[in-house]
Amino acid sequence: MKLIVRLLIGAMFVATAVLKLLSLDEFELYIYSFGIFNYITVTVLARLLVALELLMGLFLLLKQFYKQVWLLIMLTLTGFTVFLFYVALFRNDANCHCFGEFIELNPLHSILKNVITMALMLLIMKETDYTFKFRKWLIVSCFALAVILPFVVFPMDALYNKVVSPSSTINLKAFEELQKDTALTNLDIEHGNHIVAFFLSGCKFCKLGIKKVNTIAEKHQLDGNHIKIFISGSDEGIEKFKQEFALPDYQFFKISPIDALKATDGSFPTFLYVQDGKVLKSINLRGISEEEFVDFLK
């Protein structure tokens, strides 16, 4: 019985870490939405939390540093539970991202999960470390895995952009032709600073991109009228995209798939920094920098 409980809890922590990794962008945005830390700090904290959960799960499975890990798990679950009570009282979150985007749990369900887990942890409180050959090598491997997975395999955008260019191609001639379209007479980007985004209504990364823009705009109270969105898709898809993902003061302009592909060379989402009608910079999703974004629009 105790063996099964320990293995199940250990596997759960490993699973929560892996599922957070597989939807790491969404997890980062969730932490950022609380408005406590800047985006770069959030990317570090999210990965540290994943590393912690992974290590706790692995060491519980392997019965290494057992007393310390048992205490750390209890403290972590207690801290998460207190945090979830706050979320349940003051926010209306459908998913607290305990299992990433793959298994949705609201705060109350997560609190129940934590209470049950802590009760089960009491059953295995008096277990002891397991010793075996190559123990040190296995411990080192666990620590290495906890660092490599979140920080190397899923690198932070700031580090990723040091290696891979975050710039995105933009066909300036096609973009200029778009501005001449009589259906886009309200575009109004000839004066001042504007962010112009190109989205597809059904694109997963476009949805992630607008969520990232939303969280930055809300935190810094940016004027959404300076965020213009070219979007391609069916009328139903576009309307659903606007209702589910966009802030109400963004301006949307429907364009054909052909025009969207011509302007961006098929790279979605693409974000343009436009000043007095002139494109200063073109970036992809990974190139969005909170500081630069805010400075440009303010």
* Residues 15-69: tens digit of each pLDDT: 999 999 999 999 999 999 898 889 889 999 999 999 999 999 999 999 999 999 9
Domain boundaries, the chain: 2-161, 172-297
196 forms bridges with which residues in the sheet?
Answer: 228, 272
d(CA 155, CA 152): 5
Q: Which two tokens stand for residue 229?
A: 């969105």
Tokens standing for residue 91: 């926010």
Residue 81's nearest CA partner among 68, 96, 93, 66 is 96
> Per-residue pLDDT tens for 56-115?
999 999 999 999 999 999 999 999 999 999 999 998 788 889 998 888 889 999 999 999
- In sequence order, what are the beta bridge partners of 271? 197, 283
**What pLDDT digit, counting tens, does each position of 219-254 carry?**
999 998 899 999 999 999 999 999 988 888 898 999
What CATH number was assigned to the domain covering residues 172-297?
3.40.30.10
pLDDT confidence of residue 92: 78
φ, ψ of residue 101 to 5 degrees: the values are: -90, -5
